[in-house]
Chain A
């Protein structure tokens, strides 16, 4: 009896995936902020794309930046909303894949350094030297605005690795959590995506008496939609162009507001060359 049960278990476990439909466009996004928010936003995106593309579209939430890249690489998702660094990694792992579109804001994105009020740090134009010796949290290890760029600037100014220049260094996991951890004083300073911060402030989710922006980094290119190179074989000729057009034509204010982006503009792989060079300098990619 037990043996039969086990055999059945194994067979069922192996057969289960066959049930999933073959012609569904599956996409994911890096989990850069609260999951509820992402589900809401990308649920709407899935509906929108389904209407424009005439295929089933499904959004799959993942738990880490690495999982998003891996799913893209394994062709378990064909399209993804990546950050600068995760996009570079994904396109390096999947030859032929292409950055299709970025948000209007993403061409000139930036990172805020935020600090708890107890630090006494205030906003400045120049890099805040006062963070030396403070506890500091990045976002995810794989984040552009939450890790790559802030680490770059910390190394540039202090000429030392963050863990040497700062008292303690942590990785909160995502931008929402960075804000929460600095607000509660678990860390004194943090690096956060400016857009996530601005909308958290606009929605009254942050007590700006407890935590405030002390510095804004120079701008760089960030988020983009990236698609696999082999989608045309699977979904039909010019599928890639259709996806690009659909993304660029996204005009529903509510949908755009959920990102939040003014709209989407065309981009290309080379827009992220600087990000790739920076990541190489920090030995985050080979």
Chain B
């Protein structure tokens, strides 16, 4: 039995994943998976830019929704972070961020309909929960000395503004700009449920097999994100914020009566609405649990655990691609590009594509989750490894260097990052159900299709609780293994 608790924990996770493999369905069922794959790749490398107006609109809307959504989320999250010492605020934050943007969008679609507010709030609300938590962590870690040496009569606000904020500011800013990148991905994905962003056009182009349009849309999206530092300057941000709301498009007018009805009727369990009494309610709930929630939870956990270990393995393979200990200038740039593409491609989109190519099973989801998340973790670990200076006389062979020098020193941060992504992978796993994998999202999507919002809400709350549970577990593990804390890796 290995001595190190880190190793033991890692092996434990591999073991759990191995058990999950028994229950998982990972077959490629497509008769000719590579034929369509070839067509897709050909389309992607020969992008069709013949409708620049459409691509431009798609990008503009994607950016606008991201700015307004993340901006509102950041503002609300900042306020929440100041109140974060209250248990209720912490609980609210944990709850709202445990629900995926797409689920929020599906909920808001019911009463705001195809109005920009649906997309804006779908981003702003979960992001507010994340910002609230991370901002409060950043503020807590700010150096307390300046505040302590201020004269006592200095007011709370001035104390906060002049002693707390300046030290935390660079971290707040860098985290917020990182979230903006995530916001662009979220915004793009909202198109899949009908918002006028990139996903809207991607879904159509993909569904009709216009892979050259898919290629064009993806290419501009990669460039947009890769060039983020060039076009998002701190001085320009207020300007973007002011302009963004005017580029959301008009959508359709809101019927406010629907919002009220949603809460007073739609989400009230059917037996209560029909006045059938508590026995019927229990029967309704039991049916929902047995036929949908439990199978959904099972599939969600199985897929999450496999995807988590796959992500870990792929990250450990991927980080040398951008590590100076393993690459030269050219190979490093190539590796960097590869990782940017991996993390810029939203897992939802990747899973959608792979499902069409390989047929229905969990495999497309595992691969999509692993590629996207390994892109992120590989990037973070690679950067971390660049801070290491090797001992004089360190092994020259790359394999030895990897195994004996670099890996042991980045393994702690690696596990920390991976545990951070655990909850995110689970949240994403649930949402992939919308694509037809029978995780919780599948049943949520079915319930919404059947206009049974009472069932959908119960399932969404269960999904949220599951995420909160995994988040708590991950936090305990990090504490027990004394893994160092680094909020900017969270997404």
Contacts and interface: CB of A to CB of B under 8 A. Distances in A.
Interface of A: 1-3, 5-6, 8-14, 16-20, 26, 34-36, 60, 62-67, 69-71, 73-77, 89, 93, 116, 118, 135, 140-142, 167-171, 173-174, 176-177, 180-181, 184-188, 284-286
Nearest to A89: B451
A2 B248 CA distance: 19
A184 B36 contact: yes
B16 interface: no
B110 interface: yes
Nearest to B199: A63
Nearest to A90: B451
B153 to A, nearest CB: 27
B253 A185 contact: no
A142 B250 contact: no
Interface in B228-255: 238, 241-242, 244-246, 248, 250-255
Nearest to B357: A186
A187 B250 contact: no
A77 B252 CA distance: 9
A17 B451 contact: no
Interface SS, B side: helix
A57 to B, nearest CB: 14
B31 A118 contact: yes
Q: Which of B194, B250, B357, B360 has the most CB of A within 10 A?
A: B360
B241 A5 contact: yes
Given A1-B238, A93-B451, A185-B32, A70 B446 contact: no
B200 interface: yes
Interface string B20-44: 0000000001111101100000000
Contacts of B207: 34-35, 173-174, 176-177
Nearest to A93: B451
Given A63-B203, A64-B449, A76-B253, A9 B244 contact: yes
Nearest to B253: A17
Q: Which of B30, B36, B451 has the most CB of A within 10 A?
A: B451
B414 interface: no
A18 B251 CA distance: 11
B436 interface: yes
B337 to A, nearest CB: 30
Interface residues of B, number: 58
Contact of B246 (A5, A12, A170): A12
Contacts of A174: 207
A271 B225 CA distance: 53
B103 interface: no
A186 B37 CA distance: 12
Given A170-B436, A173-B207, A66 B241 contact: no
Contacts of B113: 70-71, 74, 76
B359 to A, nearest CB: 5
B80 interface: no
B120 A13 contact: yes
B193 A63 contact: yes
B462 to A, nearest CB: 20
Given A10-B245, A17-B252, A135-B29, 17 more contacts: A9-B244, A12-B245, A14-B117, A16-B248, A18-B253, A26-B252, A63-B193, A66-B449, A67-B193, A69-B451, A70-B109, A73-B258, A76-B252, A76-B255, A89-B451, A184-B30, A186-B356
Given A135-B359, A168-B29, A6 B241 contact: yes
Given A8-B242, A20-B250, A186-B29, A141 B445 contact: yes
B12 interface: no
A218 to B, nearest CB: 24
A30 to B, nearest CB: 11
Contacts of B193: 63-64, 67
Contacts of A62: 114, 194
A32 to B, nearest CB: 12
18 contacts: A6-B75, A8-B245, A9-B244, A12-B246, A13-B248, A20-B252, A34-B208, A36-B204, A62-B194, A63-B200, A64-B193, A69-B451, A71-B114, A116-B31, A142-B450, A171-B436, A184-B32, A285-B451
